[in-house]
A and B are shown apart, each in its own frame.
Chain A
Amino acid sequence: MHVATFRQQLAKEPAIAAEGSGVQKTALAVKLQAENLNFYYGKFQALHGISLSIVTYKITAFIGPSGCGKSTFLRTMNRMNETVRNTRVEGKLLLDGQDLREMDVTFVRRRVGMVFQKSNPFPKTIFDNVAYGLRVNGVRSRPVIEAAVERSLRRAALWDEVKDKLRKPASALSGGQQQRLCIARALAVEPEVLLLDEPCSALDPIATLKIEELLFQIKDITTIVIVTHNMQQAARLADYTGFFLMGKLIEFDDTRKIFQNPSKKETEDYVTGRFG
């Protein structure tokens, strides 16, 4: 698929976009919901009263200058923030209406997958990388694992490139391939939500394009939330976009509204490049 195709698709987006009425008013299924979420690193408050809803099978993007809290917010959605010492969350985070923080943490992370800024393949073979999540979650059957690995690699548009070298170490792949491998690894456990933290920031434009294409391919099986510092990327990919500034969610709306007709002055300054 090509960028132009993305644009066409954006153009024939469903009714909500045309109405321009924002997320909250639609009747779409809400997958993840934050209510008045505060986040602290020690005494420093990194997030201030974030409230928003992530819609099922849509791509949601978060933009904003670095240090604005977009990644922090992303990491609270699968409780990865808990791996950092001395952090604290206040408020509610609901996954399918259930509070995330009352669930078992490994269970949350299996349901809400994550892809990181820097690709982080394990020092194992390509196959074992993709199979890791399944094994961790108790899948033992060899045929099931093999099928899942192939399916995930196909979804991540990597199968054709690696099908002959599944037993090779993952470190032999190129940067873009490694990142797609990490996406395949995350997809293998069939997450309901896939969080991506600036997945393309270390990649060249061609590799970036491949990742964007594959995200488009998988949005009908999983809900995608992506943090990016690249506004064009958000505009190309996302159905909804949120703009963060200084730990606050300034505006959250339909992507086209954010980029063409934002309701807040700060958003306009940022998307038109007038901001720092």
Chain B
Amino acid sequence: MATSFPVEPRVIVRSPRTFIERLRGGDQIALLTTLVCAVTIIVVVALIVVELWMNSQPAIKAFGWHFLTSSTWDPNAEKFGALPFIYGTCLTSALALLIAIPLGIAAAIFLAEMAPPQLSNLLTFLIELLAAVPSVIYGLLGIFVLVPLIRDCLVPVLVKFFGYLPIFQGDFYGVSFLSASLVLSVMVAPFIISVSREVLLAVPVEQREAALAVGATKWEATWQIVLPNASTGIIGSVFLALARALGETMAVTMVIGNTPKITASLFSPGYSIAAVIANEFAEASGRLYVSSLIFLGLVLFGLTIVINAVARILVLTTTQRSA
């Protein structure tokens, strides 16, 4: 037998059995601590809902559903209606998506299907950095760069060719629905691009090859085969972008004009839910005024939750199907 090593006495032969010792081992403590933290998150979300609900009670009691359909916002007379803000939020978000979706998806197709991988990775990296730019900076750029640009270049063109449309009538002062929508579209485009690119890349290569093998052109393979495969995920990315646009505060506040009115013209200044809260909350006096603003917050919260839920479900179904 190869006995090159002596048998040495065993170091620790003691079973740690008491409760205290097992606690010191850390398992129970760790389980408990992490569980408490996980539950804390649920509590935080519950608190958000409860706080919004409780604090908007005065407004709910005073106005009821009428709050959502009334277009009067008069703090002096204590008359509050949310319609101009809901209108502004929905209009700017929808218009922003209308601009960002085609551009974003086209760019995503380019990055996923055509660009050489190195270029694609580099551009995606840059786009993801752009998604990280704080919204107040987009607002700053909106006020001082985009608005003058729109006034001097875009508006004359629009008026000249489409001036007969009701949406392009009236005077343009700079701050307006149009400016807010354009700033928003610049903000959500990186979002749509990076998520859509990922979804497109998740489509199996075999799908492309099968289409190309029966004689489809690259574009036909992309448009007819790859895109439908990825459509649910892309729609999901659009919904995520929508949720972001709806809740976006600073950039919109800085360029929308902060005037609570409902007009068809995109040139006219307006207001959005997030913007009115940002502008008036700190200075709001009177219980009903504050409560109305919080009620607006509750409406916004509800809107984004529904949109987010839809988006999650859509993204989830595609990624799971491809996995």
Contacts and interface: CB of A to CB of B under 8 A. Distances in A.
Determine whether A and B are in direct contact in the complex, meaning some CB atoms lie less than 8 angstroms apart: yes
Interface of A: 1, 9, 103-104, 106-107, 110-111, 134, 137-139, 144, 148, 151, 154-155, 189-190, 192, 216-218, 220-221
Contacts of A221: 5, 7-8
A55 to B, nearest CB: 15
A243 to B, nearest CB: 26
A9 B13 CA distance: 33
A107 B2 contact: no
Given A106-B25, A138-B12, A139-B11, 11 more contacts: A9-B1, A106-B16, A107-B14, A107-B16, A151-B5, A154-B5, A190-B8, A190-B10, A192-B10, A217-B4, A217-B5
Contact of B15 (A1, A107, A134, A154): A107
Chief secondary structure at chain A's binding surface:
helix
Top 6 nearest A-B pairs by Cβ distance? A107-B15, A190-B10, A104-B15, A220-B3, A221-B7, A137-B12
Given A103-B15, A104-B15, A220 B1 contact: yes
23 contacts: A1-B2, A104-B15, A104-B16, A106-B16, A106-B25, A107-B14, A107-B15, A110-B12, A134-B11, A137-B11, A137-B12, A139-B11, A139-B12, A144-B11, A151-B8, A155-B5, A190-B8, A190-B11, A192-B10, A216-B2, A217-B4, A217-B5, A220-B2
Range, interface on chain B? 10 to 19
Contact of B13 (A111, A134, A220): A111
B20 to A, nearest CB: 13
Nearest to B3: A220
Contacts of B13: 111
A136 B86 CA distance: 59
B2 A217 contact: yes
Contacts of A151: 5, 8
Nearest to B27: A106
Scoring A103, A104, A155 by chain B CB atoms within 10 A of each residue's CB, the highest score goes to A104
Interface in B125-162: none
A107 B13 CA distance: 8
Nearest to A134: B11
Contacts of B11: 134, 137, 139, 144, 148, 189-190
